[in-house]
Amino acid sequence: MKYYSLNNKAIKVSFQEAVIQGLAPDKGLYFPEHIEPIESDFYDKIENLSNEAIAFEVIKQFVGDEIPEATLKQIIAETLCFDFPLVEVEKDIYSLELFHGPTMAFKDVGARFMARCLAYFNKDETDSKNTVLVATSGDTGGAVASGFLGVKGVEVVILYPSGKVSDIQEKQLTTLGQNITALEVDGVFDDCQDMVKKAFLDESLNHKNLTSANSINIARWLPQMFYFFFAYKQLKQSEKSLVVSCPSGNFGNICAGILAKELGLPIEHFVASTNVNDTVPRFLENGNYNPKPSKATISNAMDVGNPSNFVRIQEMYNHDLKAFEKDFSSFSFSDEETIEVLKQIYKTSGYVAEPHGAVGYLGLKKQLETNTESIGVFLETAHPVKFLEIVEETLKVTLPIPAQIESVMGKEKKSIKIKSYEDLKSFLK
């Protein structure tokens, strides 16, 4: 499989090159040259397949022969070493829990898959090193740190906005040591993301073999398709159409869902639910794509003013807004609405959600006013314990601390404070 740059279709690279580069030399995101729907036989028998077998069918065309089949199966098995339960919260409304992995957010899936692909591509390198440079609004940092810890030939540098991630998120990305360094940026997430993008374009850093582990990297983005198939597998029997709502920030998850639909997965409608960082909902309303600086909210992993993956979604619809709107809606919600609905979900069903999942639930409910005969799924993208204070305060509950989180709580934070791109550059040099 070849991947082209969304800025210039003439730039084409292999899967391996796209993973190693992250972003194309012209700053464009990579996109698969050809997307082949999976044969109907696969969908006919999906309920009899294991998660690993499904994942292999889904990803194989995108990797091609660049990783041997047995190795790819091994990578998938190590990536999917936890469960993806679908919990019925109320009649015909399900929470797809993506938080049972090592850092308790969905990003474990992409980060673990990408780390193992990179380790495979590096297996024969003795002296050249890759540097993974990543900006995090909260959960990417921890997932990438955990996924890449100890991976041979890879240095990981994580930029996060000082004071704008939760305590547990900060612990997860600043306490591991070894090949992981955390840079604490005096700014917001978009500042971190801008610095990372600038570094990729900086010729004087070429020798560092920089790559990204944000969802702009295809090895992070593509495996995020897997769990949409896992949800379908469990709901197929009902024979009702499916509406899926993704709490969205950089739009990687929803973009993976739409790609899954291109592979033939029968999802009727997607909802991108956002907090007040509403660039996409505004775009759908007035046709102008007008990104604004991000605002801090209680669903901090979605505090993104200019979602990177939106261009990939537009590519899948040939930039045809009409066609796009048939399959896709996007709604924005305030922190007050999020708090209210967290309480309401808990009161009516006893289910403890967290702010991101709650935003997803809000968008789903809104869409189901139109798709009244459908089954709805919202992604619960992180464990409530990652947003301990806000969840405990809102619901007046005490959450038990899972072992994965317990193990980082007592560790000492180590970060390097930076203010500007020049600081980042001198660190990398």
Residues that bind ligand PLP (CB under 6 A): 105, 107, 138-139, 215, 247-253, 301-302, 356, 381-382
Q: Which is nearer to ligand PLP, 67 or 352 (CB)?
A: 352
Least CB distance from residue 253 to ligand PLP, whole Å?
4
Minimum CB distance to ligand PLP, residue 416 (Å) = 23
Query: Is 322 noted as a catalytic residue in this protein?
Result: no
CB of 119 to ligand PLP, least distance (A): 23
The alpha carbon of 195 is separated from its chain's Cα centroid by a whole number of angstroms, namely 20
Alpha helix segments (H runs only) across 66-151 = 69-79, 107-121, 139-148
Sequence-ordered list of residues with C-beta below 8 angstroms from that of 303, at least 6 positions apart, any chain? 137, 164, 188, 189, 249, 275, 277, 294, 295, 296, 297
**Cβ-based nearer residue to ligand PLP, 301 or 428:** 301
| Other Cβ atoms closer than 10 A to 238 | 11
Q: Which is nearer to ligand PLP, 20 or 379 (CB)?
A: 379
The phi and psi torsions of 343 (rounded to 5 degrees) equal -65, -45
- 56 or 251: CB nearest ligand PLP: 251
Query: Of the listed 9, 45, 91, 107, which one is catalytic?
Result: 107
- Return d(Cα 356, Cα 368) in angstroms, integer: 19
**Cα–chain-centroid distance for residue 150?**
22
What count of other Cβ atoms lies within 10 Å of the Cβ of residue 129? 14
The string of DSSP codes covering 299-324 is: SGGG--SS-TTHHHHHHHTTT-HHHH
Cβ distance 236 to 266 under 8 Å? Answer: no
Instruction: Name the minimum Å distance from CB 129 to ligand PLP.
Output: 27
Tell me whether strands 180-185 and 416-418 are parallel, antiparallel or unpaired. Answer: parallel
Nearest to ligand PLP of 374, 381 (CB atom): 381
**Whole-number minimum distance, CB 135 to ligand PLP, in Å?**
11
Just list the catalytic residues. Answer: 107
